[in-house]
Chain A
């Protein structure tokens, strides 16, 4: 049974760095073709892809946010961590982690999402 769960602070102040952790089970990030990705969704707005890390530790970032994002993994803990620097109120959103299968090219399992509010 594949599950993913996001964790981190629900509230951050402007200019601070956000660190989110995705803890997963039911699959291995060391398996060829398996990736974990982050997607966010501001309230009432569309989904936005942020970053992806694959089984080979290759990392891919949204062009518009790449200077602020870092994605990393700890396969021994079944965790993927996303950091986003210089947070702004426009970054207020629900942040999802999801499993991505490169062979299929899709996000097949999603976490429940975590709401992060940026406010002083």
Chain B
């Protein structure tokens, strides 16, 4: 079955930039989406269609895409950004959805 590959963890100091990558063979064909999940809470969409930001999401969250890899960038990381981040996309047929394993962002 189709898989998305993310690093399990990223550590960053406050005010610095965190970058989380997500790789998948179908990403050149399918959009990627990013969700933030804090402990005990449901996921929240932070980026859609590779690089679009929903209303209400801070500008420090941005997304980009290049070939089979998409990247979530958090600029000027704040303590409140400490959470798990999941990339999500669809397989090449567009009828099956998949999440990455999640990346735990730790703010040092």
Tell me the A residues contacting B by CB distance below 8 Å. 37, 39, 46-49, 52, 60, 62-64, 96, 98, 104-108, 110-113
A60→B98 CA distance, assembly (Å): 12
How many residue pairs bridge A and B at CB < 8 Å?
56
A-side contacts of B33, CB under 8 Å = 105-107
CB distance from A90 to the nearest CB of B (A): 16
CB distance from B88 to the nearest CB of A (A): 8
Tell me the B residues contacting A by CB distance below 8 Å. 1, 31, 33, 35, 37, 42-45, 48-49, 54, 86, 88, 90, 95-102
Establish whether residues B42 and A96, one from each chain, have CB atoms under 8 Å apart when the complex forms. Answer: yes
Known: A49-B97, A49-B98, A107-B33; 5 extra A-B contacts, CB below 8 A, are A46-B102, A47-B86, A49-B88, A64-B1, A107-B45
A96→B33 CA distance, assembly (Å): 18
Establish whether residues B48 and A104, one from each chain, have CB atoms under 8 Å apart when the complex forms. Answer: yes
A106→B34 CA distance, assembly (Å): 9
CB distance from A102 to the nearest CB of B (A): 10
Closest Cβ neighbor of A48 among chain B residues = B99
A120→B1 CA distance, assembly (Å): 31
Closest Cβ neighbor of B86 among chain A residues = A47
Q: Is the interface of A mostly helix, strand, loop or mixed?
A: strand
Residue of A47, A52, A63 with most chain B CB atoms under a 10 A cut-off: A47
A11→B82 CA distance, assembly (Å): 32
Establish whether residues A52 and B100, one from each chain, have CB atoms under 8 Å apart when the complex forms. Answer: no
Establish whether residues B1 and A46, one from each chain, have CB atoms under 8 Å apart when the complex forms. Answer: no
CB distance from B73 to the nearest CB of A (A): 19
B-side contacts of A37, CB under 8 Å = 97
A-side contacts of B31, CB under 8 Å = 105
Asked, given contacts A105-B33, A105-B48, A110-B43, whether A63 binds B96 with beta carbons under 8 Å apart, the answer is: yes
Establish whether residues A63 and B99, one from each chain, have CB atoms under 8 Å apart when the complex forms. Answer: no
